[in-house]
């Protein structure tokens, strides 16, 4: 009893007990490993198999890369330096670098021209890709094709200037006439541009390219990765407007226009790019006026542009079909005519939906530019398979060269697809 | 009070052709028709003049002339005395062969990689993501060349199998992996029911198709029984018997023998030779397209709502069966349309065979024949016609299949 009166309660908690730490295997890295890697027999087996695979790969690749020889003049010399160790012979990359990038005929003292064109391309493309940049930069983007043409091909500056003037005059005519009728403006612009080019072409003096400030480089001297980049960039940018026109044509109410577009698109999509390149290399010259010689680069460009335009048209058609019917009806009820409705209401939305698809086509097309090596143009793959592997010094350096080509393409294509994902998030204006 | 009357019908004026929506589309189509007719006339005229200048004409007679070149990989009889048409046929069959094989393996790779990419195992899913990204972002031409290089550089030459103590040996004394291709034992029929080998093989295929139909019938019967009584009869043994008995009987009657490859003076002879270019092309196309199919499969599976998986789990299904019985059948509807275009891509990409020297139709008709005869227009047109037909056929067949698995909505 006395105990109870003096100390009636043995213990009184004065605060909450601090929570005990969870058991060691339910927390931190151990738990993560158990959940994600060893959560069952099957999972453990998979994990161990993957670890073995990674180990085997690294065991082969890491010493090969780190023992790599960067300074040698032939494969035999590489092997001498390596003295039996496993190692790469990256010397081929450093020695043949200009050939891999510019092709083997581009004049060495003119390498700064494609380099400058490449840097300017980044500047020109930036405002198209990132909307936050000042809109004034688009003026430079519009000028870029002419600058790049002049830098890479050289020759007289008058040729790109005449082309530019043609476009400017055509643009002015379109502004003037297009206010009343889109069709009048459009056809008027085309006719005016053709007239300007005809007159301007006659004005350029004969042999103006002979002693121009930038010596002219013929198209057949272009090569290497530069050729892939040029084909990729030009064909994608030309095929987007063509693809939009084809997609709209396919949706059109006019049966003749519709069927022309359907046949064109389905025909191009049904045949492999290689057969179209064969057309460019052996067949297309039969369809040009007798006596004219259109160079291979231009012919290939025409065919690749048609090829990607057909695919882009299908992507955009998907975007047009995804728009609710109400958008078309709303545009009609506002009293807009067809060109206005398309330009102001339908296309901005449809193109936004189509961006991931267009980027996919662009990546695929850029990868497909390697196919020109089959019709003996010396792009990156053509250079590797042709002049470099056939030379006595570097016969047998497969891994380093194809690894390099694969790496270049991977970097470019992966960045493009990452950009597309960023853009998709950026453009997602609907509430989710 | 005023009465409403129709406005007087305007007489037709010329300006209505461009300003009146009733006539405008007609105007545009007429302009388009004229433009097309003019350009066809212009191009055709150029073509005729160019051909006349080169002393050529359009004629397909070259298809009957002797080809004079050899093709190492062939499914039908062919030698250098055969005609160009025969060479084109050999190439055509080779294209179909590699496209067919690659479609099957690409689907297998793609489904495995796509399912594993969604695995709970962090390492495996990351590994599959790396596989998909690496293969999708590097041109297929580079992959074909790399894999062909691996084949020729890593595998031993036939003479490595020679001598007392050879550096390489044949697997089970029947399979030889060399840098010239793989040599396999070839099944042959000693006393076939028909004179020709092709007919005998057709008979085997017919027997297998028959077994497949019988298996389906057995399954249907079992389902009917299950619906009536609630018990599903065990059909495993019966199914096995239906597959094995007719096949084995046929093999015994026709006297199956294996023609095993043997090392002769310079190379293996006998057996079935699957050439290096074919294997390289097949493998490269399957692993490249597999990466694309993996993404389609992943998207298809993720399109099925999580509730389906959870409901199946609540019914007590194991994770493997959830995938097979609940998720994949629904995901298939999402996966099949992009799968069709991947199959078309494989068929079209098989034309890259020309880079490794596999004799497909682009290499025979569009390569050697074109160079020998100089009939560029005819060869390229035939080539395009073939690929168009193949593409349209594949998409037709797959669309029929797509229609059969599509959700039947009322």
Mean pLDDT of chain B: 82
Question: Cα distance from B55 to chain A (closest Cα, Å)?
Answer: 12
Q: Please answer yes or no on whether B387 and A270 come within 8 Å at the CB atom.
A: yes
Question: Quick check: is A15 in a domain?
Answer: no
Are A200 and A226 in the same domain? no
A273: confidence class by pLDDT, cuts 50, 70, 90:
very high
User: A328 is written with which tokens?
Assistant: 């078309």
Q: What residues of chain A, 168 to 197, have a C-beta less than 8 Å from chain B? A: 181, 183-184
Please give the pLDDT value at position B71.
Answer: 77
Are A178 and A209 in the same domain? yes
Domain that residue A231 falls in: 96-106+217-427
* CB-based contact B345:B400 (threshold 8 Å): no
SS3 call for A18: coil
Question: Quick check: is A127 in a domain?
Answer: no
Is pLDDT of A239 > 90? yes
Report in angstroms the alpha-carbon separations of A291 from A308, B49, B50, B315: 30, 10, 8, 77
Question: Quick check: is A132 in a domain?
Answer: no
A70: confidence class by pLDDT, cuts 50, 70, 90:
confident
Structure pTM? 0.84
Q: What residues of chain A, 356 to 385, have a C-beta less than 8 Å from chain B? A: 363, 367-368, 370-371, 373-374, 381, 385
Please give the pLDDT value at position B9.
Answer: 60
Question: Quick check: is A357 in a domain?
Answer: yes
Are A274 and A200 in the same domain? no
CATH number where A411 lies: 1.10.3720.10
Q: Please answer yes or no on whether B388 and A367 come within 8 Å at the CB atom.
A: no
> Pairing state of beta strands B262-263 and B256-259?
unpaired
Please give the pLDDT value at position A367.
Answer: 93
Q: Touching check for B58 and chain A: CB below 8 Å?
A: no
What domains can be seen in chain B, in order of their start residue? Answer: 84-185+260-405 (1.10.3720.10)
pLDDT mean over A232-256: 91
Domain finish residue from A143, A178, A213: A213
Q: Touching check for B120 and chain A: CB below 8 Å?
A: yes
Q: Touching check for B119 and chain A: CB below 8 Å?
A: yes
Residue A184 vs residue A298, higher pLDDT: A298
How many whole angstroms separate alpha carbon A192 and alpha carbon A166? Answer: 8
Question: Cα distance from A386 to chain B (closest Cα, Å)?
Answer: 12
Are A257 and A403 in the same domain? yes
SS3 call for B31: helix
pLDDT mean over A254-260: 89
Q: Touching check for B1 and chain A: CB below 8 Å?
A: no
Q: Please answer yes or no on whether B383 and A410 come within 8 Å at the CB atom.
A: no
Question: Quick check: is A120 in a domain?
Answer: no
How many whole angstroms separate alpha carbon A109 and alpha carbon A89? Answer: 27
Please give the pLDDT value at position A311.
Answer: 93
Q: Please answer yes or no on whether B18 and A279 come within 8 Å at the CB atom.
A: no
Are A241 and A197 in the same domain? no
User: Considering chain B, what percentage of its residues have pLDDT values greater than 70?
Assistant: 88
Domain finish residue from A213, A237, A260: A213
Please give the pLDDT value at position A303.
Answer: 92
Domain finish residue from A146, A178, A213: A213
User: B410 is written with which tokens?
Assistant: 């009322």
Q: Touching check for A402 and chain B: CB below 8 Å?
A: yes
User: Considering chain A, what percentage of its residues have pLDDT values greater than 70?
Assistant: 96
pLDDT mean over B54-61: 78
* CB-based contact B73:B278 (threshold 8 Å): yes
Are A392 and A283 in the same domain? yes
How many whole angstroms separate alpha carbon B292 and alpha carbon B304? Answer: 19
Least confident range from A145-149, B199-203, B309-313, B345-349: namely B199-203
Residue B15 vs residue A81, higher pLDDT: A81
Q: What are phi and psi of A378, to 5 degrees?
A: -95, 75
pLDDT mean over B153-167: 67
Are A312 and A421 in the same domain? yes
Contacts of A183 in chain B (CB under 8 A): 18, 28
Please give the pLDDT value at position A1.
Answer: 47
The pairs formed by B400-406 with CB atoms below 8 angstroms and a separation of 24 or more are: B401/B336, B402/B336, B402/B337, B402/B340, B405/B332, B405/B333, B405/B336, B406/B333
Least confident range from A361-365, A370-374, A396-400, B142-146: namely A396-400
Question: Cα distance from A134 to chain B (closest Cα, Å)?
Answer: 32
Please give the pLDDT value at position B302.
Answer: 87
pLDDT mean over B254-266: 70
* CB-based contact B347:B390 (threshold 8 Å): yes
Are A236 and A350 in the same domain? yes
The number of C-beta contacts closer than 8 angstroms across A and B is 149
Is pLDDT of B170 > 60? yes
Q: Please answer yes or no on whether B366 and A278 come within 8 Å at the CB atom.
A: yes
Please give the pLDDT value at position B110.
Answer: 94
User: Looking at the 3D structure of chain A, how many domains does it have?
Assistant: 3
Q: Touching check for B133 and chain A: CB below 8 Å?
A: yes
How many whole angstroms separate alpha carbon B334 and alpha carbon B353? Answer: 31
Are A225 and A336 in the same domain? yes
Please give the pLDDT value at position A431.
Answer: 53
Nearest one of A360, A224, A262 to B345, comparing CA atoms = A360
Is pLDDT of A272 > 50? yes
Mean pLDDT of chain A: 85
pLDDT mean over B62-79: 77
Are A326 and A301 in the same domain? yes
Tens of pLDDT, residue by residue over B100-147, are 999 999 999 999 999 888 888 888 899 999 999 999 999 999 999 988
Judged by phi (left if over 0) then psi (alpha if -120 to 50, else beta), residue B185 lies in beta
- The per-residue DSSP string of B239-307 comes to HHHHHHHHHHHHHHHHTEEEE--EE-SSSEESSEEEEHHHHHHHHHHHHHHHHHHHHHHHHHHHHS-HH
How many whole angstroms separate alpha carbon A391 and alpha carbon A198? Answer: 46
B192: confidence class by pLDDT, cuts 50, 70, 90:
low
* CB-based contact B53:B45 (threshold 8 Å): no
How many whole angstroms separate alpha carbon A384 and alpha carbon A277? Answer: 20
Please give the pLDDT value at position A371.
Answer: 92
Q: Touching check for B25 and chain A: CB below 8 Å?
A: yes
Is pLDDT of B2 > 80? no
How many whole angstroms separate alpha carbon B141 and alpha carbon B77? Answer: 30
Are A383 and A234 in the same domain? yes
**Can you tell me which residue has the tokens 């069966």?**
B321
**Can you tell me which residue has the tokens 């028909």?**
B194
Please give the pLDDT value at position B271.
Answer: 66
Q: Touching check for B384 and chain A: CB below 8 Å?
A: yes
Nearest one of B85, B93, B58, B98 to B369, comparing CA atoms = B85
The highest-confidence range among A86-100, A359-373, B176-190, by mean pLDDT, is A359-373
Q: Which residue of B has its CA nearest to A261?
A: B32
pLDDT mean over A164-178: 87
Question: Quick check: is A180 in a domain?
Answer: yes
User: A405 is written with which tokens?
Assistant: 């080509």
Are A325 and A308 in the same domain? yes
Question: Quick check: is A404 in a domain?
Answer: yes
Question: Quick check: is A143 in a domain?
Answer: no
Q: What is the ipTM of this complex?
A: 0.86
Give B188's strand partners: B257
Question: Cα distance from B223 to chain A (closest Cα, Å)?
Answer: 32
CB burial readout B246-277, b (16+ within 10 A) else e:
beeebeeebeeeeebbebeeebbeebebebbb
């Amino acid at each position: 009893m006395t105990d109870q009166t003096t100390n009636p309660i043995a213990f009184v908690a004065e605060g909450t007990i601090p929570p005990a730490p969870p058991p060691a295997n339910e927390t931190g890295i151990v738990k993560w490993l158990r959940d994600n890697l060893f959560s069952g027999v099957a999972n453990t087996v998979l994990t161990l198999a993957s670890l073995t695979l990674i180990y085997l790969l690294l065991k082969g690749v890491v010493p090969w890369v780190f023992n790599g020889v960067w300074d040698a003049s032939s494969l035999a010399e590489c092997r001498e330096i390596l003295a039996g160790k496993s190692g790469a012979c990256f010397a081929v990359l450093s020695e043949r670098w200009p050939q891999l990038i510019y092709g083997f005929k581009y004049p060495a003292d003119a390498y700064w021209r494609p380099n400058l064109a490449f840097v300017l391309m980044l500047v020109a493309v930036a405002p198209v890709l990132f909307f936050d940049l000042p809109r004034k930069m688009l003026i430079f983007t519009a000028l870029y094709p002419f600058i790049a043409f002049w830098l890479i091909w050289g020759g007289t500056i008058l040729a790109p200037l005449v082309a530019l003037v043609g476009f400017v005059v055509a643009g002015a005519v379109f502004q003037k006439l297009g206010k009343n009728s889109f069709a009048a403006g459009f056809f008027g612009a085309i006719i005016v541009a053709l007239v300007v080019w005809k007159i301007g072409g006659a004005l350029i003096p004969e042999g103006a390219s002979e002693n121009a400030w930038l010596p002219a480089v013929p198209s057949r001297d272009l090569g290497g990765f530069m050729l892939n980049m040029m084909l990729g960039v030009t064909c994608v940018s030309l095929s987007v407007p063509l693809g939009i026109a084809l997609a709209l044509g396919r949706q059109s109410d006019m049966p003749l226009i519709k069927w022309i577009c359907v046949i064109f698109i389905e025909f191009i999509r049904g045949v492999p790019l290689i057969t179209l390149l064969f057309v460019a290399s052996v067949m297309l010259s039969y369809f040009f006026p007798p006596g004219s010689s259109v160079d291979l680069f231009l012919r290939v460009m025409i065919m690749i542009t048609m090829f990607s335009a057909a695919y882009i048209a299908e992507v955009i058609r998907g975007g047009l079909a995804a728009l609710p019917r109400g958008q078309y009806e709303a545009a009609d009820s506002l009293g807009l005519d067809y060109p206005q409705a398309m330009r102001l209401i339908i296309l901005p939305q449809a193109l936004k939906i189509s961006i991931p698809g267009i980027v996919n086509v662009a990546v695929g097309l850029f990868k497909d530019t390697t196919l020109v090596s089959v019709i003996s143009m010396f792009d990156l793959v053509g250079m590797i398979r042709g002049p470099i592997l056939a030379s006595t010094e570097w016969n047998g350096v497969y891994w380093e060269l194809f690894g390099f080509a694969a790496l270049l393409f991977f970097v470019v294509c992966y960045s493009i697809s990452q950009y597309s994902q960023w853009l998709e998030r950026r453009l997602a204006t609907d509430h989710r | 009070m005023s009465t409403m009357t129709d406005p007087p019908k305007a007489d037709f004026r010329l300006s209505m052709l461009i300003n009146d929506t009733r006539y405008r589309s007609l105007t545009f189509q007429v302009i388009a028709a004229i433009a097309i007719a003019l350009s066809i006339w212009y191009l055709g005229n150029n073509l005729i003049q160019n051909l006349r200048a080169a002393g050529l004409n359009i004629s397909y007679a070259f298809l009957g002339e002797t080809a004079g070149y050899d093709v190492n990989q062939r499914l039908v009889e062919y030698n250098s005395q055969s005609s160009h048409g025969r060479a084109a046929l050999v190439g055509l069959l080779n294209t179909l062969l590699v496209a067919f094989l690659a479609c099957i393996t690409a689907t297998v790779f793609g489904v495995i990689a796509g399912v594993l990419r969604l695995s709970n195992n962090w390492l495996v899913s990351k590994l599959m993501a790396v596989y998909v990204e690496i293969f999708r972002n590097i041109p297929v031409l580079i992959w074909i060349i790399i894999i062909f290089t691996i084949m020729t550089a890593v595998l031993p030459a036939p003479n490595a199998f020679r001598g007392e103590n050879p550096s390489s040996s044949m697997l089970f004394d029947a399979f030889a992996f060399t840098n010239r291709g793989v040599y396999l034992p070839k099944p042959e029929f000693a006393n076939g029911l028909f004179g020709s080998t092709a007919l005998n093989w057709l008979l085997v295929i017919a027997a297998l198709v028959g077994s497949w139909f019988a298996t389906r019938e057995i399954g249907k019967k079992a389902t009917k029984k299950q619906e009536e009584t609630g018990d599903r009869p065990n059909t495993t043994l019966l199914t096995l018997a239906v597959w094995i008995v007719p096949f084995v009987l046929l093999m015994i009657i026709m006297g199956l023998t294996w023609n095993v490859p043997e090392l002769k003076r310079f190379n293996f002879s006998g057996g079935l030779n699957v050439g290096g270019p074919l294997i390289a092309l097949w493998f490269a196309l399957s692993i490249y397209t597999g990466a694309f199919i993996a993404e389609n499969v992943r998207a298809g599976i993720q399109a099925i709502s999580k509730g389906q998986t959870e409901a199946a789990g609540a019914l007590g299904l194991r994770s493997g069966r959830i995938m097979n019985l609940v998720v994949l059948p629904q995901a298939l509807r999402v996966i099949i349309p992009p799968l069709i275009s991947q199959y078309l891509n494989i068929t079209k990409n098989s034309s890259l065979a020309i880079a490794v020297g596999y004799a497909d139709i682009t290499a025979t008709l569009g390569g050697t024949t074109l160079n020998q005869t100089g009939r560029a227009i005819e060869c390229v047109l035939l080539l395009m016609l073939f690929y168009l037909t193949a593409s349209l056929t594949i998409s037709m067949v797959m669309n029929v299949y797509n229609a059969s698995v599509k959700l039947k909505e009322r």
